[in-house]
Amino acid sequence: MANKEKVCLAYSGGLDTSCILAWLLEEGYEVICFMADVGQEEDFEAAKEKALKIGASKVYVEDIRKEFVEELCYPAIQCNAIYENVYLLGTSLARPVIARAQIAVAQREGCVAVSHGCTGKGNDQVRFELAFYALQPDIKVIAPWRMPVFYERFAGRADLLEYAEKVGIPVTQTKSKPWSMDENLAHCSYEAGILEDPDMEAPKDMWKLTVDPRDAPDAPEDFTIKFEKGLPVKLEYENGKSVSEPLDLFLVANAIARRNGVGRIDIVENRFIGLKSRGCYETPGLTILRSAHVDLEGLVLDREVRALRDQFVTYNYSKILYNGLYFSPEREFLEDSIRASQKSVNGTVRCRVYKGNFQVLGRSSETEKLYDMSESSMDEIGAFAPQDTTGFISVQAIRLKKYGNSKLEKGERL
């Protein structure tokens, strides 16, 4: 008997991917299951046992938290990455390292295809598959939720539950949450279900990572973040404790923000494929690290460099992450630009969090001297001669005078 073709399935242990696993076996494939540990609160051992019981020949659980923080979250902090001025890209940031780890497992096992449980309307199908094709151009992708033979058979949750019972898939009986969730070290997202009504307030018991700001401690919590070349290198907290290693630093930032209710947003965003969607996100540690970085740049970064970076690098890098184009030449180019822009972003930011809010108490830099207190002071002249501003204003006014005269001649009001 000929050996079956192998497929590497991105497996979560939930109903959808468990049914996809059984369906792939039914279709005649040998299935290798892959799970990525990107910091989600997950019982990986239970999920592994479930996959093996259903019929997976092997299950890989890969811990990629360190590379997730160092290769994706930290560059995002360096360039203040943000999508549509609100979303800090928590889901998008995790997809490249997950896809890369899945392809590595598929190659190790000699798989002819990879598979996933992404829906046909979302962004993740694009993010994963573009990554797969960049990493292994000849790989075959099996996307069941875009295949009529699958989605016409399984129209909804009821069909999946019926199939699970029929083929012996263990389904844990828990209270169903009327929304979909995706969690990693950087954030947790909530969408679909009752959240599809954009005017429906997110229930208080939905939020998983952060305490309700109204229930957060009544006393503020202070901490200090040190940056070198735009990257957080030290976090000091709780009167004397400190942490420097990127993963540990990120975990501490998460803990501080979570217990103080920092990092919640609720938005309607534009998906890459053209649909609008409502999403709720918790992004605790990344929120305070990015906010501190933004503040420090005001002290140490040249204004024209900052403007160019904001207009070109931050906008396009964020869009590339969101659209799933991480493994692309433009991403490499932009990351070189990010590093070039951050040479002077060295210093310390003193921070406070309190009931959902982040505040900067002060900032300083021992090496970067763009800010001159005597020049900016209202109480001394310093090296800046006030009369020089007269010529500056006169030059700036030349074209505005011409514009104003043209309006007056036409009888138009400015």
Tokens of 267: 């938005």
Q: How far apart are CA 317 and CA 308, in angstroms?
A: 13
Catalytic residues, which ones?
A: 16, 95, 124, 180
CA distances from 408 to 101, 394, 400, 403, 414 (A): 66, 20, 12, 9, 8
Give me the half-sphere count of Cα atoms (radius 13 Å) on the Cβ side of residue 396. 6
Buried b (16+ CB within 10 A) or exposed e, 236-269: bbeeeeebeebbebbbbbbebbbebbbbbeeeeb
The answer to whether 141 touches 117, Cβ cutoff 8 Å, is no
Instruction: List the end-to-end C-alpha distance of the chain, in Å, as a whole number.
Output: 85
